[in-house]
Amino acid sequence: MKARRFKFPLFGKGILFLGLLVFSVCQPGVSSATDVNVDCDIQTGGCQKQINARTVHLEILPKPVKAMKDLTFQLKISGDSLLEAPFIDLGMPGMKMGPNRVILKKKDAAIYEGQGVIVRCKSGKTIWQATVVLPEIGSVVFTFDVIY
């Protein structure tokens, strides 16, 4: 009797193909809007959060905060002057958009300012995150809605 040969490479390719189709259609890494909490109403004003004992106030201007426009990012940080300038990393929750860092420069004793752009995503999702990093102190994430 002729033994049936189990064609693993074909089977494996089939599984990979199906997996790829599902991967492609579902667009993994793209979180649904419902599982991301917007915790900052940046369109009406600035937002405030704590990093250790410091209060960080984030403001983005001009209003309304729109994608694909030159924006000014401003941080007000309480406490002693920082040894290193803070920076902001912009990104979308659950979506790899590439490194988009806003370099901040000291404007005042407690105020840092820099220019940046929030880009538009083809998916149409408008929720963005600004990760404020205070070197050697810590980081905090602001999640907000942007107008496309």
Partner 1 sequence: MLSTSSIYILFFTTGVTIGFGHCIGMCGPIVISLSLNLKGAPSVWPHLYYNGGRTLTYGLLGAVVGGMASFTRFAESIDGLQKGAMVSAGVIIVLMGLAMTGWVRTGVIFRAAPPVGTFISGIFKRLLQKKKHPLMYLPLGLLLGLLPCGPVYTALIAAARSGMEADTTLGGVLSGAGLMLCFGLGTIPALFLVSRLTDLRWLRYREKVYQVGAVLMMAVGMYFIWNGVRF
The footprint of partner 1 (CB under 8 A) covers: 10, 13-14, 16-17, 20-21, 23-30, 68-70, 92, 95-100, 117, 119-124
List the end-to-end C-alpha distance of the chain, in Å, as a whole number: 67
147 phi, psi to nearest 5 deg: -90, 130
Cβ 57 to partner 1 shortest distance, Å: 25
- Other CB atoms within 10 A of residue 76 CB: 16
Which CB, 69 or 107, lies closer to partner 1?
Answer: 69
CA nearest to 74, candidates 45, 34, 41, 36 = 45
Cβ 106 to partner 1 shortest distance, Å: 18
Cβ 61 to partner 1 shortest distance, Å: 15
DSSP states along 90-113: EEBTTB-----EEE-EE-SSSEEE
H or E stretch covering 25:
helix 8-26
Which CB, 86 or 114, lies closer to partner 1?
Answer: 114
Cβ 7 to partner 1 shortest distance, Å: 9
Which CB, 89 or 110, lies closer to partner 1?
Answer: 89
Which CB, 125 or 137, lies closer to partner 1?
Answer: 125
